[in-house]
Chains A and B, each alone.
Chain A
Amino acid sequence: MKKYSPSEEVDFVVIGSGAAGGVMAKQLSQAGFSVVVMEQGAWGAYGHEQDYNKDELINRFPSPEDRLLSDPKTQRNTFRRNASEKAVTGSHDYGCVVGGGTVTYGASSWRHLPYEFDEASRFGTMQGTGVADWPVSYEEIEPYYTQAEWEIGISGPSHDVLTKAGSLIAPMSKPYPVKPQPLKSSGALMMKAAEKLNLTVTSNVAAIITEPYNGRSGCINCGACSGYGCQVKARSSSAVALLPVAVATGNCEIRVHSYVREINVDASGRATGVTYFDKANNNQEVFQKAKCVVLSANGTETPRLLLLSKSNRFQQGLANSSGIVGKYLMTGNGGGASGLFTDPLNEYKGCVTGAAVLSYVPNDVKNRGFYGGGRMTARGQMSPIQYGLAGAHGAPSWGAGYKKALIEQANRRLTMVNFISQLPVETNTVDLDPDVKDAWGLPAMRITTTSHENDYKGMQFFIDRSVEILKAAGATQVWADTINDSKGGAHARGTARMGNDPKSSVVNKYHRAHDVPNLFVIDGSSFVTGGRNHPTMTISALAYRCADHLVKAAKTGNVTI
C-alpha cells in the first residue's frame, strides 16, 4: 500500500472509510489523485476476511483489536430527550473499523423513491419541521444509484418483480446485478399475508451477493450476519468492494487508528489538512497536509468534528455560518409486532431480512392522518445468547417456567421491524457536551432527540399494520411492540444538510461546504429529509455523484464547484 508522509501535501484527505468514504477513496484515487483515508478504528480482518469472528460471546465482549463498532465507554456520548434535560450517559455507537458500518450492517440497500427528494413541493412543509426539497432530483441521482449497485454488488428482485411492484419501487435504468437472497420462512409468511391483505411483498434488496460477483463468492447463509464481519466477502462492504480497488491504484493510503480531532484552516478560510491522534503511537498529534478535505465520518461524528474545528475565523464551528451544523438529526425510530407460529422458522439461518412489505412506503396523509410512510421487514433472527437473555414472550425471566417457554418458543418467533420516515426537526441535534469528555479529552458527543408527534402517529400505524399482517400470516399469538423513539444508532442523517441557500444549509448540491471552498461533506449528514430509514444506498449514490463532480473540478485545478 502506498504511504504518504504527513508533511507531504496530498490531494485529498478522506475522513472515514464507510459507505461514503469508501466510494470517495476509490473514485478519487482511480482518477489519479493522492488520497489518505483517515480511519479511527482498526483494520478488522481487512484482506483476511475468513478470520472474522462468528462466536456470539466474543462478539458481545470484543477485545480492542476485534472491535468493529465504536465503544461508548471511550467514544463517550450523552443523551437527552430535549434541551431542558441534563444529558445522561448514552449508548450510541457506529461502525469503527476499516469499512465503517458497512462491515457489520444488515445491508438493506433500497433506493429512495423519486418523491423522497422533493417532499416539500409535493406534500407541503409542516409546522415545526425542516421539511425541504433536496437540491438534487431523483433523475439526477439515478445514474449514480445504478453505478453504485453494479460496482458495490447489490442483490435484489428480478426485472419482472420490479415491474409488477410499479411505483412502490424507484424506477431503475438497469436491473440489479445479482439475484435476490432466499425469502426465508419469514418471507414466505409475508407472501401468505400479502395474498389475504392484497399487499405488495418482494424479496429484500441487499448489499449481499448471492452468487460469485466481481471476484467475490456468494452468501453461504451462515446466519452470523448483521453485527458480524462476513467471512466469505459476500457482504458488499466498502472494505471488500471499494477500498481494495482504491489501494490497488497505488494512490491511496488507508491510515488506521487515526482519530481526526480537527480540520485545520488558514487565515483565508481554506482547509489546510487535518490534525489527528495517532492511537498506535501514544495518541501523538499529527498534522496531515492536504489540498482538499472530504468529511465522511457518519451522521453523528461529522457534525461533531465540524463543531470541534473552531478557529478565530469559524468561532461556532467549521462550515457553520448558518448555525445549523448538527441540527435536523434523524436517528430512525420504529415499532412493530411479533408473533408465534406453529412450526419452526429457523430465522437464525441466512441473512437478517428475507422480504419487505412495500405497500405502505408512499405518503397517504389523507387516509392515514400522518405524513410519511415506511418499509416493513419480517425477521426473527436471534442468536442463542441473545434469545436466552431476552427470554420467551409472556414467560418468567428465570426458573422452570422460563426454560419451558424458551424451549417451546424457540425458532417460532417472527418480528416485524419497520423502517419509517422521520421528520427533520431543528431541535433534534448532535452537539458538544459541555461537561463530558471522551477518552481523548475532547468534548463528548451529545444527542438530543424526540420524534415529532406526527412520527408517533406513524409508528403507531406501523405497529397496527404489523399486528394485522402477522395475524393474516397465521400467527397463533401476536403481541404489539411499544413505540420506540430512538436514542441514536447507525442510521443518523440530516446534520449537515444539502441546499442551495447558505443560510439554511451546510453544503451545496455537490457537497461542498458553503463556507469552505475546499471542504466536502458527504455521508448521511447530507440528507435533507430522511427517506424511509434505509439510508445506505442513497449515501453511496450521493458519494458517486459528489466524486464525479469533484474529479472533474480537481482536474482543472480548482475544486470550487
Chain B
Amino acid sequence: MSDSRRNFLLKSFSASSAAWLAANWPAQVAAAEKAQAMGAFTYFTKPQAADIDAMAAQIYPTTDTPGAREAQVIYFIDTALVTFAQDKQDIYAKGLADLSAQTGGKAFAALPSDQQIALLTSMEKTPFFRTVRDHTIMGMFAAPQHGGNYHKVGWQQIGFDDSLNFRAPFGAYDKA
C-alpha cells in the first residue's frame, strides 16, 4: 500500500477527557487536537506517521481481532511525543532516519509485509524499535483518553474491565 493511499482516520479528541494531558501540556494538546481532527499530526509528518503506523501494525498486528491500527495507536504516539514522552523525540528522529537509510529511501510503509517484518526483526534490539514497541503497547492498553485503545479494543482483548469497583467473587476460582 503506498503512502498516498493511506487514509488516516479523523481523530475525534475530547478535550475534557484528556484533562491530564491538557493540564500539563496545554499548548501541545491544543495543537494535537487541532491537527488530528483534520487527519493530520502534530509531531509527525504524514509520511513519518505512515511509517510508524506500519511499524505499530507489525508489532501489534490486525489478525482475526483488531490491532494497533484499529486502536489508533499512531495518534497515541503522536500526542505522547509532544507531551509525557518528549524526551523520546530524538530516538524517533534518529530511528526514522536510520529506517530510511535501510530501505534506500523507500517508505517503510510501502514495503510488503514480509520485508517489513524482516527489517524490524533485524533492528529488534535498537532503542528506536524498543521505544516504538513500548509506545505501541501503551497505546493499545492506556485509557482511551490518551489517544489510542480506541473504543477500548485493547482492554476488551485482554479481558480488562475498567469499572470503578468490583465485588467478590472476582474470578473463576473464588466462586463459592
Contact = CB atoms under 8 A, between A and B. Distances in A.
B142 A385 contact: yes
Nearest to B140: A388
Contact of A184 (B67, B142, B168): B168
A220 interface: yes
A188 interface: yes
Contacts of B165: 220-222
A175 interface: no
Given A57-B142, A222-B164, A349-B166, A411 B174 contact: no
Given A185-B171, A350-B168, A389-B134, A61 B84 contact: yes
Contact of A384 (B117, B120, B154): B154
B172 A388 contact: no
A347 interface: yes
B133 A398 contact: yes
Contacts of B168: 182-184, 221, 350
A133 B116 CA distance: 64
Nearest to A187: B174
Contacts of A56: 141-143
B60 A346 contact: no
Interface in B21-70: 23-24, 58-61, 63, 65, 67
Contacts of B96: none
Contacts of A343: 171-173
A341 B173 contact: yes
A338 to B, nearest CB: 16
Contacts of B61: 399-400, 403
A38 interface: no
A32 interface: no
A387 B166 contact: no
Interface in B128-148: 133-134, 136-138, 140-143, 145-146
B75 to A, nearest CB: 14
Nearest to A407: B157
A197 interface: no
B167 interface: yes
A221 B170 contact: yes
A348 B133 contact: no
B138 A385 contact: yes
Interface residues of B, number: 44
Contacts of A55: 20, 142-143, 145
Contacts, number: 135
Nearest to A58: B20
Nearest to A403: B60
Contacts of B167: 221
A404 B61 CA distance: 10
B159 interface: yes
Given A55-B143, A389-B137, A399-B58, A185 B158 contact: no
B170 A410 contact: no
B158 A384 contact: yes
Given A184-B168, A189-B173, A220-B165, A400 B63 contact: yes
Contacts of A345: 170-173
B155 interface: yes
A461 B7 CA distance: 57
A223 interface: yes
A347 B24 contact: no
Contacts of B58: 398-399
Contacts of B169: 182, 185
The residue among B58, B61, B67, B168 with the most chain A CB atoms within 10 A of its own CB is B168
Given A220-B164, A403-B61, A404-B63, A346 B159 contact: yes
Contact of B24 (A63, A385, A389): A63
Contact of B166 (A183, A223, A399): A223
A344 interface: yes
Contacts of A389: 134, 137-138
Contacts of B60: 398, 402-403
A389 B63 CA distance: 19
Given A384-B141, A411-B171, A350 B166 contact: yes
B63 A403 contact: yes
A189 B142 CA distance: 30
A407 B159 CA distance: 8
A377 to B, nearest CB: 15
B170 A350 contact: yes
A159 to B, nearest CB: 22
B160 to A, nearest CB: 5
Contact of B158 (A186, A222, A341, A410): A410
Contacts of A189: 173
Interface in A392-423: 397-400, 402-404, 406-407, 410-411
Nearest to A410: B158
Contact of B174 (A61, A63, A183): A183
Contact of A346 (B20, B133, B154, B170): B170
A105 to B, nearest CB: 21
A348 B169 CA distance: 12
Given A184-B168, A341-B173, A344-B171, A57 B157 contact: no
Given A182-B168, A344-B159, 19 more contacts: A55-B20, A55-B143, A189-B173, A221-B166, A221-B168, A222-B165, A223-B166, A343-B173, A347-B170, A349-B170, A384-B142, A384-B154, A388-B138, A398-B58, A406-B157, A406-B158, A407-B65, A407-B158, A411-B171
20 contacts: A56-B142, A61-B85, A63-B23, A183-B168, A185-B171, A189-B173, A221-B165, A222-B164, A222-B166, A343-B171, A343-B172, A345-B171, A345-B172, A384-B154, A398-B120, A403-B63, A404-B63, A407-B158, A410-B158, A410-B159
Interface of B: 20, 23-24, 58-61, 63, 65, 67, 84-85, 117, 120, 124, 133-134, 136-138, 140-143, 145-146, 154-155, 157-161, 164-174
